[in-house]
RNA sequence: UCCUCAGUAGCUCAAUGGUAGAGCAUUCGGCUGUUAACCGAAGGGUUGUAGGUUCGAGUCCUACCUGAGGAG
């Protein structure tokens, strides 16, 4: 039983960028899409009501297998009706497998062929993840889209290590799919599982990895291991190596990217889905994304500034509050600052994706790219 | 008028007589499948003033200035 149906509405004849509709068990997602990150079953600072507001109209969220595994645990979530009911989110959820944590919490782990042993960052307790166990966890969560366990090596790594790591990721993906297909057959609801293309910063390994994952006949494919310290052109090059090999009629997901100006670049290389902590995390750290570039709200220059963060933004924050007020809230450490800033930054990212989608549908994506490539970096 | 206490970075305060520091603020970085309402760097001082003791004083002594309390 398929969980997803990917309907392509338009393809840019110059770049190959696609606009489509991703039909999930929890609603339709317009692509290309930016997925806000809600690691611990919450987008920090946002209620589901905020995210559902037509102003944001978020269709799909991320949550994290690793973090929810440690707390509160897959079984409690299953008993409480799954992640959707647990967090009161009616729309689609994609769960990351914890593969990223294998790398980002590297001080605490040991990678073996059959999985990874790691220490909880919460209490130091020992746990293991296998391709099978992370599928089980994500089925307990009731994820619409689950991700296979992968290894996400840091940059730079040797070709030798990247190859071994990629081989492991492919083997894990194969094991995950075997287990997933056996388990999913007995379930009432449909779930999708995406494998992840790895291969370090070696185009040859990326191509090989993509080719080997095709046999899995997955409902969508992810490209991982991007923005792990490498220069940006290299990230784009890795996508250029892998994306053309992936099935044209399935969604492609670039994991963990990127800055606002990078989003159209990934789309131009055939990417349909992206997620990133930048809009939410940077919001809380005083970094606001605007149509005129970045704005660091803590700067004293905004102390008496009555203007909105972005005069061209129609978000709740920009409609009602001044830079001076937001700066005040930030300096005072007030919770409302994070709420308003996150709301604005998410709106900015979602607007960018809607703008990209609109341009593709109108056949004007090359012109759109031209404009954003010459955009200013800093707001005044 | 007298007594007591206190004067150190923009602010609040540290510093057994031995290289004047911290937090906040300021300025600037950083953040990319969140261990992050987080992390880092820089600028900023005639230690109230003037003398004295001492090898050496923010620290001890004297006078003065300012402030806060108290007494009358």
Quote the ipTM score: 0.93
Residue among A96, A144, A310, A351 flagged as catalytic = A96
What percentage of residues in chain A have a pLDDT greater than 90? 89
The pLDDT tens digits for A126-160 are 999 999 999 999 999 999 999 999 999 989 999 99
In the residue annotation, A114 being an active-site residue is answered as no
Rounded to whole angstroms, how far apart are CA atoms A142 and A83? 6
Q: Residue A378: pLDDT band by 50, 70, 90 thresholds?
A: confident
> Where are the strands (E) in A87-164, listed by range?
92-96, 109-112, 115-119, 126-129, 145-147
State the CB neighbour count (10 A cutoff) for residue A307. 11
In the residue annotation, A275 being an active-site residue is answered as yes
The pLDDT tens digits for A87-108 are 999 999 999 999 899 778 867 7
Q: Are A279 and A346 in contact (CB under 8 A)?
A: yes
Find residue A21's DSSP bridge partners.
Answer: A7, A30
Long-range contacts of the stretch A370-376 (C-beta < 8 A, 24+):
A372/A261, A372/A264, A373/A261, A375/A261, A375/A293, A376/A292, A376/A293
Rounded to whole angstroms, how far apart are CA atoms A254 and A267? 9
Residue among A144, A275, A310, A351 flagged as catalytic = A275
Interacting residues of A50 by C-beta distance below 8 A, sequence separation 6+: A56, A339, A343
Q: Are A219 and A3 in contact (CB under 8 A)?
A: yes
Cα of A227 vs its chain's centroid, Å: 12
- CA A300 → C1' B28, Å? 12
Cα dihedral A266, A147, A351, A301, rounded to 10, equals: -90
Nucleotide nearest to A198 (CA to C1'): B33
Give the strand pairing for A287-290 and A293-296. antiparallel
Nucleotide nearest to A287 (CA to C1'): B31
Rounded to whole angstroms, how far apart are CA atoms A347 and A257? 16
The pLDDT tens digits for A59-91 are 999 999 999 999 999 999 999 999 999 999 999
Pull the structure tokens for residue A154. 């840091």
Nucleotide nearest to A282 (CA to C1'): B31
Rounded to whole angstroms, how far apart are CA atoms A127 and A204? 34
Cα of A40 vs its chain's centroid, Å: 14
pLDDT at site A159: 98
Q: How far is CA A309 from CA A319, A344, A377, in A?
A: 9, 9, 15
User: Strand B positions with any atom < 7 Å from protein CB?
Assistant: 25-39
- CA A113 → C1' B46, Å? 68
Looking at residue A88, the DSSP 8-state letter turns out to be T
Q: What is the pTM of this model?
A: 0.95
Burial class (CB in 10 A: 0-12, 13-18, 19+), A82: middle
pLDDT at A191 over 80: yes
Give the strand pairing for A273-276 and A33-36. parallel
């Amino acid at each position: 039983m398929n969980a997803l149906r990917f309907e392509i509405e338009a393809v840019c004849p110059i770049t190959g960028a696609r606009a489509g509709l991703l039909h999930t068990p929890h609603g339709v997602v317009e692509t290309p899409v930016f997925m806000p990150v809600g690691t611990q079953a919450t987008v920090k600072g946002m209620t589901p009501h905020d995210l559902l507001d037509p102003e944001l109209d978020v269709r799909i969220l991320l949550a994290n297998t690793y973090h929810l595994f440690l707390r509160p645990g897959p079984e409690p979530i299953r008993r409480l009706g799954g992640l959707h009911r647990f967090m009161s989110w009616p729309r689609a959820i994609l769960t990351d497998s914890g593969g990223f944590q294998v790398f980002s919490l590297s001080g605490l782990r040991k990678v073996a062929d059959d999985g990874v042993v790691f220490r909880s960052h919460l209490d130091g307790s020992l746990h293991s993840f296998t391709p099978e166990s992370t599928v089980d966890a994500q089925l307990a969560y009731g994820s619409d889209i689950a991700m296979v366990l992968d290894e996400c090596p840091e940059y730079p790594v040797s070709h030798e290590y990247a190859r071994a790591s990629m081989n492991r990721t492919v083997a894990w993906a194969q094991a995950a799919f075997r287990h997933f297909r056996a388990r999913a057959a007995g379930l009432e609801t449909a779930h999708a599982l995406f494998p992840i293309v790895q291969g370090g910063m070696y185009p040859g390994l990326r191509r090989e990895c993509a080719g080997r994952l095709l046999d899995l006949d997955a409902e969508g494919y992810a490209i991982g291991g991007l923005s792990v310290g490498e220069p940006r052109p290299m990230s784009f090059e890795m996508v250029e190596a892998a994306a053309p090999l992936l099935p044209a009629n399935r969604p492609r997901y670039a994991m963990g990217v990127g800055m606002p100006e990078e989003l159209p670049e990934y789309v131009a290389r055939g990417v349909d889905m992206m997620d990133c902590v930048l809009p939410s995390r940077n919001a809380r750290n005083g970094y606001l994304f605007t149509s005129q570039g970045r704005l660091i709200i803590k700067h004293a220059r905004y102390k008496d500034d009555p203007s909105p963060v972005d005069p061209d933004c129609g978000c709740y924050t920009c409609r009602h509050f001044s830079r001076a007020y937001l700066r005040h809230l930030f300096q005072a450490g007030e919770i409302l600052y994070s709420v308003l800033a996150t709301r604005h930054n998410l709106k900015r990212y979602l607007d960018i994706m809607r703008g990209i989608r609109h341009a593709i549908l109108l056949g004007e994506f090359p012109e759109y790219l031209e404009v954003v490539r010459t955009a200013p970096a800093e707001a005044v």
